[in-house]
Every structure is written in C-alpha cells, then in structure tokens.
Structure 1
Amino acid sequence: MIDVVAALILRNRNGQTEMMICQRPANKARGLLWEFVGGKIEPGETPRQALARECREELGVSVCIGLPFISVVHEYPDLTIRLSLFQTILPDGEIPKKLEHNDIRWILPEEIGQYSFCPADETVLEKIQREGLPRLSDLQAALFSLQDLPYRKFQVSLMPTVNPETVIGIRTPRLRAFAKSFSQTDGAISFLKELPHTYFEENNLHAFLIEQMSDYAQTIAALDTFLPYVDNWATCDSLSPKCFRKNHVELRKEIDRWLSSPHVYVVRFAIKTLMVEFLGDDFLPNDPERLAAFQTEEYYLQMMIAWYFATALVKRPDEILPFFRSGALDPKIRKMAVRKAKDSYRISKEQKELLNQL
C-alpha cells in the first residue's frame, strides 16, 4: 500500500467556502481527470511535511495545513493507495501556479458534478456533498497565516497531552503581537464567547486576551468561563493577568476556590498564581504549608507544586528550606523540586551543595 497525502485547499469568498481542484496532464495516468493536489509520502517524511513539499512542487506555494479531513483506501488495478486529506489554506500573497497540472479551479460543493475526478477521490467527494466543506473562520485563516511548520514539530513534542492535529504552530511572540491588535476589534468580544475552540493557538489567543483585561471582576469572570477548557500546561502557564498584582486581597479568595476545582489545569493555574503573585510582600507561611499537604497523583499538579517550591527557595530561602529538610514534601514532589532548583541560575552554589546533601 502506498501512502498518499493531499490538500483540501479552502478559501472563503463572497460568504461561501470554495475548494481548489487540479486537472492532471493528458500524458499521465488518469490524464485530464481532476484531483486534489498532493502525492506520495517519501521515506522519513511526516504527512504534513510531504504535503508541504507537494504543494511547493506542484503549485509553487507555501501552505498552512490544518486538521485532517478524511482518510480513505482505494484499489486501482495496478496499486493500492491510502489517501489522507488535510484542510489547507493559502496564506495571503501565495498564488498557485500550474507547474504540474493542466488547469486549476476553485469550485463550490454543488459544482462537483461538473467535473470528472480520479476514482480515489470519490469517497472524499461524497463526504463533501453530504456534509459540505469545513469552514475556516476569518480568525482561523489569520492564525494559519502565522504558521511555522518547523516550530510546530518542536512544539508538538513538548505537549504530549495535546492532540497534534490541533496545533497550528505559531511562535509565542507572534501570537502575542496578534492578540494585542486583535483585542482592539469587535471580533475579540465574540471570540471570547466561542468555547470550546478547535485549535491550541485559539486557546492561547483566548488566554492572551484575558491577560490584557484591566477590570478585575471582568477578568475573574472570563477566567471562570475559560479555565475549565484548558487541557495542557503550556496554555495554563502562559496566562498571567496583569490586573492581579493590584488585587491581591480579592485574588486570594479566588485561589482558594480554584484549588478545590475538579479540573486539573484550574488547580495548576491557582498554584502558579500563588507562585507568581504571592512570594513577595504578600507571602503567607500558610501558602507553602497547604501546598506541601496537597494530595494529588496528577503529574502536572505535582510538577507545578515542585516548581512553586523551587521558585520559593530562591525568593524566600529561610521559610522554604525547612520544607526540603523535613519530610513535609511528598518524596516525588521533593525530588522534582530539588532537580528544578539545581537547574536554576538563581540558586547559589552553597544552596545547590546543600540540596545535594539532602
């Protein structure tokens, strides 16, 4: 069986979603039939890498690759292929060229019957005629225009709990800059109401929009709506609302509430907020005591507690070192905290030697 990947290239035009189809050259197998641009996955390539390469070779364009659309197996007389289609868009300024095809057209689903397609595409076309084309919102199209595929590969490797197919691949500084400009539009207000989101970066955009809110009550309401949908450490840890630092008295009440949440990343956010906001003048000895006593088997909560103690050791060594010396910390969390503290450049050589002795 040969693995083949193809692009369901979409565009929004006049309120409708169109798809790109390409006509095979007359001198090739299945000549003059229409198809979706794509080709065979070469050894060592991922499907997305192969699709990006095929689009460059056949159309002369760079593409933004989204969610899988369908995967089908088809038997030709001479070979069997497994065809996987991905939702794809062209960034602004990318104009497809007829480098390997006889013709290129944009069509609507209701126009499919006017064209003769390769047999392998029949199941794909039936799905499109039955369900319609997936529609990328204007916002999603804008996010895909920021896609960096090599960075996406690295990013996916860091987030084992996130479905890789939902990761666009946008560097954080670019997404933050986008969020800053997007926050000034009417679309930002409606976007914050559109939960759950489809893509990882949409969740991060949501987080960055909340960060920019200046009204404390509005921020808490937005967090209570959004946090239960957070499903990974990266989105959780990127969220640091600016208005928190001026509302510490009220914020402690929210932290108490979040710590009792059944949602892992709501609790993680609460612990992170204690670490970011309450290791300075508003530190309370009860904070590390309650975290040391916190019972959990969730890895991402254990790691957050360890991070708290490693950071607290830097900022408040006299109050925190006893937690490392005594048996107050869960052994697993203590080991994580020691490792994280020893990796920190802010821990003195003497403190690291002491941690080694412990």
Structure 2
Amino acid sequence: MQTSVRERLCAMADEKYREFHSGLVPGKERILGVRLPNMRKLAKEFAKEDARSFLKEYQENVDPKELFYEEQMLEGLVIGYAKLELGERFGYLRSFVPKIDNWGVCDCSCATYKFMEQAREESWEFLMGYLKSRAEFEIRFALVSMLDHFITEEYKDRIFQAVESVHHDGYYVKMAAAWLVSVLYVKFPNETEAFLQKNTLDDFTHNKSIQKIRESYRVSKEDKERLNTMKRGRKA
C-alpha cells in the first residue's frame, strides 16, 4: 500500500510548491510538494475506502523516518476524516502524535479533528495528557487542538489555566500558546484582557500573544493601542 500511496503523491507533486513550502517547514527535507487541497482530497478517499487498513500499514509496518512530509500528514488527516469510534480514534492518535516533528503536519491534522467538538469532555481529558509532555510537538498538538475545537464559553477558563500550566522552551510551543490566547481575545476580549493583565506566562509568550492580537483585523485600533502598553520589557 505504501508504494501505491507514494506513487499517487509523487504524481501530484509540484516542484515550485515544494521549494516554497520547504522554506516554511524548517528541518524537514523529505517534502514532495503536494498542495493541501489535494492532500485533503486524497485523505478523504483513503478514509472512505479502508481507513483501518491504511492506518495499520502506516502505524505498524512503516518506519516514520522514511516517510515524506506528505505521507506523515496523510496519516494525520485520515485519522480525522475516517468514521471511527472515539476510543479507536484516540488509539490511532496515540500512535500518530509522538511522530509529529513539524508545525505543518501538527496544525493541518488538528484542524480535521472535528470529532472533538462532539465529545469535548473526553477529548479535553485526552489532550491534558499531551499538555504534560516534554515533547515540543506533543504540547503543540494539544494547544492547537484547543484553538480549533474548544474556544467556547464553557472551556475558556480551562484554556487560560492550561496555557499557564505549560512550561516548555520550544519555539513552536510558545507560538502555539500565543496564537491560542490571540484567538481567545477575538471571542472573549474582556476575559482575555484580564488574563493578559495578570498571568504567569513567560515574557516571550505574553508579548507574542499581544502581537498576534494586534495583527488581527477583528480588533479595533483603540484596543490594539491599549494592549500594546501591556507588553513586558517596555522602556519607560
């Protein structure tokens, strides 16, 4: 199966896109250059035909180090698109998540996990385990999943607590946390501003959160100016 999957991906590859996307995913050399819409279309096809056989092949019989970027992403997308029971899906994720080694595979996969919105409490508990990890992209997986599927009145306070509980120096963890806070601000500006006034985030994440909020077209000029005064390390 792996050979036929790779052949189909190679047929979709675009050299110019490969060169462009390689610059966006540092450290990932094995990239074919398949555009995301084509990746999603192929993943939905495998998810519909025989998701379990596909996932069994990639999780039990393939060396992750030999995979191309697109093959790695395809595994994550199929987990999201396939019709699976919740426990079975979590089982596949337990095998997949530790193999994530870049933001592209992490973020694109997380966006497909809409099943979490139908089982938020169980999914939240599942994510908490990764929040305690020491692996950079396991933590990012949890944070980006929250960003995609848990920005609600019920979960906002839990997200604030979760973000503060993370203590990891990884760049992709800090940027995910900042991104998460910025999305919370758009939905819950008053509560998020109160959080920014008093939190235990490191200075980089705190300031990046404000920067990302100020980059949003959904935030007023007045709010952006006020938030800018809340950055840490500002000269008097």
- The TM-score range, normalised by the shorter chain, is 0.7 to 0.9
Shift of 1:321: 0.5
Aligned with 1:338: secondary structure?
helix
Q: Distance in 2 between matches of 1:179 and 1:291?
A: 31
Q: 1:304 aligns with which of 141, 155, 176?
A: 176
Matching residue of 1:99 = none
Aligned with 2:109: secondary structure?
coil
Matching residue of 2:234 = none
Contact 1:323 1:329 in 2 (8 A): no
Matching residue of 1:138 = 4
Q: Distance in 2 between matches of 1:311 and 1:236?
A: 18
1:149 paired with 2:149, answer no
Shift of 1:255: 1.4
Aligned with 1:329: secondary structure?
coil
Q: Distance in 1 between matches of 2:48 and 2:87?
A: 20
Give the length in aligned residue pairs.
221
Shift of 1:323: 2.5
1:235 paired with 2:105, answer yes
Q: 2:57 aligns with which of 167, 188, 191?
A: 191
1:335 paired with 2:207, answer yes
Matched to 1:208, the amino acid is L
Using CA pairs below 8 Å that are at least 6 residues apart, which structure has the higher relative contact order?
2
Seq. identity, %? 27
Q: CA RMSD in A?
A: 1.8
Q: Distance in 2 between matches of 1:232 and 1:221?
A: 21
Matching residue of 2:223 = 351
Contact 2:25 2:104 in 1 (8 A): yes
Q: Structure 2 length normalisation: TM-score? A: 0.87
1:259 paired with 2:131, answer yes
Shift of 1:242: 2.2
Q: Distance in 1 between matches of 2:81 and 2:74?
A: 11
Shift of 1:191: 3.3
Unaligned runs of 5+ in 1: 1-135
Shift of 1:183: 2.3
Q: Distance in 1 between matches of 2:58 and 2:78?
A: 8
Q: Which has the greater radius of gyration? A: 1
Shift of 1:287: 2.3
Q: Distance in 1 between matches of 2:27 and 2:183?
A: 25
**Structure (1/2) with the larger helix percentage:** 2
Unaligned runs of 5+ in 2: 231-236
1:208 paired with 2:77, answer yes
Distance change >3 Å, CA 284–CA 310, structure 1 → 2: closer
Q: Distance in 1 between matches of 2:56 and 2:159?
A: 37
